[in-house]
Amino acid sequence: MGLFDYVKINYDLPTPNTATEKHVEFIKNAIDTEEFQTKDLDCVLNKFCLDKDGYLYEQNEGKYEKRYVHQHVFCYTSIKMLFEDISYWLEYNIKFTDGKVKDVTIEQWYPIIKKKSINFN
Whole-number pLDDT of residue 115: 63
Does the residue 22 lie in any domain?
Answer: yes
- Whether 99 has a pLDDT exceeding 70, the answer reads yes
CA–CA separation, 16 and 26 (whole Å): 12
What are the tens digits of pLDDT across the range 47-67? 999 999 999 999 998 899 999
Please give the tally of structural domains in the chain. Answer: 1
Kind of pairing, strands 86-97 and 72-81?
A: antiparallel
Report pLDDT for 85.
83
- Amino acid at site 94: I
What's residue 15's pLDDT? 94
Domain presence at residue 56: yes
